[in-house]
Amino acid sequence: MTTAIRSVASRSRFSRHALSVSFGLLAGLSSLPARAADQITFVSQGGAYQKAQTVAILDPAARKLGITINQDSIPDAWPVIKSQVASGTPTWDVVDVPTSYCLRGGEQGLIEKLDVSKIPNAAAMPEAYRSPYSIAYEFYSSVLAYSLKKYSSGAAPNSWADFWDVKKFPGRRALRNHPLATLEAALMADGVASDQLYPLDVDRAFKKLEEIKPAITVWWTSGAQSAQLLNDGEVDMVMAWNGRVSALASEGAKVAYTYNQGVLQSTSLCILKNAPNRETAVQFLNEAVDPLLQANLPLHIDYGPANPKAFDAGVIKADRAVQLPSGPENTRKQALMSYAWWASPAGEAAEKRWVAFMQK
């Protein structure tokens, strides 16, 4: 009994000691701003994706800049961004998130405004790939995927009009339980050209969706679920993210997809408001979209570089470029999602309308 009490007492003394040491360290660090600035905290979504970007982009960028990149990962960063900035002392610097988070966060004062003149690599990218708050970092695509057991590749659905055509292509279908890219697909199915989508005709899109609704077996909510539905034969065609389908195919599943009328989407990098290492973060942003480092990414995972110059760097071979969502040929076949429209009041209204549409 007495030993137990003593050991508890000594443990608490020890932890108090440890605390004072770490506080001392913190104080020491903050008195050396030059050294403290030589690091950033980078946050992404974890898993195979974060591993790939660590090898392809983060490690080389850290070596080049002579900084330390601390990493954190979270499936959905939005609530944490909100609470970190609200607390006044965020610990994250750069986040890799769906572009809409950067725009929405920018409007709400959660994200720093960027000075593109300090980020020359981004300045050289197409204007549609950046916003005052964000720089596109990698591309993925919402594509039409299908089971090869049900449809042979010669007689497979090849457009959203085919997806909507339940007579010509009988079978079970799934769409994402989210309006992003789904409304775009509906409009393309209704005959709108892929470069004429914005501003979206929301009424027309929902009307077209009502048409296909009875044929939709599942409205999926996670990428893993969309792949599983197709793999298990629960559905025969689905709108899914290209990386999910290509991963299935490489595991030997009888599935395929087309980039035709795909919706090209991106995650972007942005910097938290009042982030501790803002200047280093800006330097990192420039490195992260460097054409050479960007060209490394598809060597490790099925996502496309956001900087189009990456395809001229001599790293990505032609047979690889045709597989990537942002490959020059595939970019032409697809629609580029306008995150600016989705962040606008009309876009937000469309998102709210989705819940009501699902319940009817």
Partner 1 sequence: MLALASPALLVILLLIVLPVGWLAWQSIYHDGFTLENYRRILSEDIYWRSFALTFEISLLVTTLALLIGYPLAYAANAAPRRWSIVILALVILPFWTSVLVRSYAWLALLQRTGVINQVLQYVGLVDEPLALVHNSFGTVVATVHILLPFMVLPLYAAMQKIPNDLMQAGASLGGGPAHTFWRIFLPLSLPGVLAGTTLVFVLSLGFYITPELLGGGRTIMVSLLVSRNVELYNQWGAASAVGVVLLAGVLAVFLIVSRFIPFDRILAPK
Where on the chain is the footprint of partner 1 (CB under 8 A)? Answer: 78-79, 82, 104, 108, 172, 177, 217-221, 225, 232-234, 348, 351-352, 355-356, 358-359
User: How far apart are CB 229 and partner 1 at their closest, in Å?
Assistant: 9
| Phi (first) and psi of residue 68, to 5 degrees | -100, 130
For tokens 């942005």, what's the residue? 270
For tokens 């905290």, what's the residue? 41
Residue nearer to partner 1 on the CB measure, 79 or 314: 79
User: How far apart are CB 49 and partner 1 at their closest, in Å?
Assistant: 21
User: How far apart are CB 282 and partner 1 at their closest, in Å?
Assistant: 26
User: How far apart are CB 111 and partner 1 at their closest, in Å?
Assistant: 13
User: How far apart are CB 359 and partner 1 at their closest, in Å?
Assistant: 5
User: How far apart are CB 169 and partner 1 at their closest, in Å?
Assistant: 18
> Given the DSSP bridges, would you call strands 134-147 and 255-271 parallel, antiparallel or unpaired?
antiparallel
Task: Write the burial class of residue 26 (CB in 10 Å: 0-12 exposed, 13-18 middle, 19+ buried).
Answer: exposed
C-alpha 160/C-alpha 165 separation (Å) is 8
- 3-state SS of 3-58 is HHHHHHHHHHHHHHHHHHHHHHHHHHHHCCHHHHCCEEEEEECCHHHHHHHHHHHH
Q: What is the DSSP letter of 200?
A: P
Q: 336: which 2 tokens? A: 């580029």
Give the rounded distance of the alpha carbon of 154 from its chain centre.
32
C-alpha 84/C-alpha 123 separation (Å) is 29
Residue nearer to partner 1 on the CB measure, 21 or 358: 358
Residue nearer to partner 1 on the CB measure, 254 or 309: 254
User: How far apart are CB 351 and partner 1 at their closest, in Å?
Assistant: 6
C-alpha 262/C-alpha 240 separation (Å) is 10
SS3 64: helix
SS3 145: strand
Residue nearer to partner 1 on the CB measure, 151 or 303: 151
Residue nearer to partner 1 on the CB measure, 104 or 273: 104
Is residue 179 within 8 A of residue 243, CB to CB? The reply is: no
Residue nearer to partner 1 on the CB measure, 59 or 351: 351
User: How far apart are CB 233 and partner 1 at their closest, in Å?
Assistant: 5
The secondary structure of 157-172 as a DSSP string is --SHHHHH-TTTS-S-
User: How far apart are CB 141 and partner 1 at their closest, in Å?
Assistant: 22
Helices (H), 232-359: 242-250, 278-288, 291-296, 318-321, 328-333, 339-343, 345-359
